[in-house]
Amino acid sequence: MSTEHSSIPATEAKSAAQAEFAGRTALVTGGASGIGLALARRLAAGGAAVVVADYDEKNARKAAAELESSGARAAAVAMDVTDAASVEAGVRFAVDTFGALHLAANNAGVAGVASPTGEYPVEDWNRVVATNLSGVFHSLRYELPAIVEAGGGAIVNMSSILGTNGFAGSPAYVAAKHGVVGLTKTAALEYAARNVRINAVGPGFIDTPLLKNADPAAREHLVSLHPAGRLGTAEEVAELAAFLLSDKASFIHGSYHLVDGGFSAP
């Protein structure tokens, strides 16, 4: 009896993966490290031309050089998402460099200090909200017209599990990430008819270099909050974000998607 194999040859699978975002330009804020870098790598592997935007210009250039060394088209731009003019310039750079903007991942963010609301430093509140919420607004403000002009595309805003849950000691971060979800839903309603899909991702605690250096007891506590029994990886978040940016998610508008190892399930 003959046996038929339905598996796709490796070369064909690789070609299909590279065609996923072919002909499209993607802008990733906070793209020089962590989740942003993982997503820049994933989009580049899918064939996108990637603009790595980050406050840390040196590491943004390093990330772009890495992508180029793998055969991708990439460029780096210094961007401070708290400054609307800086964001406008970064989006213009992406369009000028690669001809158009089709995809964006608004990932730049900061954690802030740990303190109860009644004792939270005002300057830290302003910094966290300016980066994590106003930064997403500034990004949308200039990405959306560019993407509409290109004929449409998709945007992913990086929220958090704390976009739907409270967390003692993190009032600014929690408030900002809740705000990102609301902003995402509003913009999605406004731009669905203009062929732009906008969604949000809510990662759990992710195993980044920052947490690798955390106090072991604090790290174990964070692990215990996830029924999966571990922290997430930047690559797992990047896969979800890449799906939402892809044509496979063509009927998904204004949604908030968790990748949190069950953190939000109880």
Catalytic, 55? Answer no
DSSP readout, 37-77?
A: HHHHHHHHHTT-EEEEEES-HHHHHHHHHHHHHTT--EEEE
Alpha-helix runs per DSSP H in 107-170: 122-129, 135-149
Q: What is the structure's pLDDT at 14?
A: 54
Q: CA 240, CA 258: separation in Å to the nearest integer?
A: 9
Q: Which single residue is written with the structure tokens 């669905």?
A: 192
Size of the chain, expressed as the number of residues it contains: 266
Residue of 193, 197, 214, 54 whose CA lies nearest to 135: 54
Give residue 215's pLDDT.
84
Degrees (nearest 5) of the Cα angle 153, 159, 162?
160
Q: Which two tokens stand for residue 265?
A: 């399930």
Q: Phi, psi (5° rounding) for residue 78?
A: -75, 130
Residue 135 buriedness (CB in 10 A; 0-12 / 13-18 / 19+): buried
- Active-site residue, from 55, 120, 142, 173: 173
pTM greater than 0.75 (yes/no): yes
Q: How far apart are CA 74 and CA 50, in angstroms?
A: 5
Whether the CB-CB separation of 211 and 191 falls below 8 Å is answered with: no
Assigned architecture for domain 20-259? 3-Layer(aba) Sandwich (3.40)
- Burial label for 132, CB within 10 Å (0-12, 13-18, 19+), is buried
List per-residue pLDDT tens for the chain, 266 residues long: 444 444 556 555 455 566 899 999 999 999 999 999 999 999 999 999 999 999 999 999 999 999 999 999 999 999 999 999 999 999 999 999 999 999 999 999 999 999 999 999 999 999 999 999 999 999 999 999 999 999 999 999 999 999 999 999 999 999 999 999 999 999 999 999 999 999 999 999 999 876 777 788 988 999 999 999 999 999 999 999 999 999 999 999 999 999 999 999 98
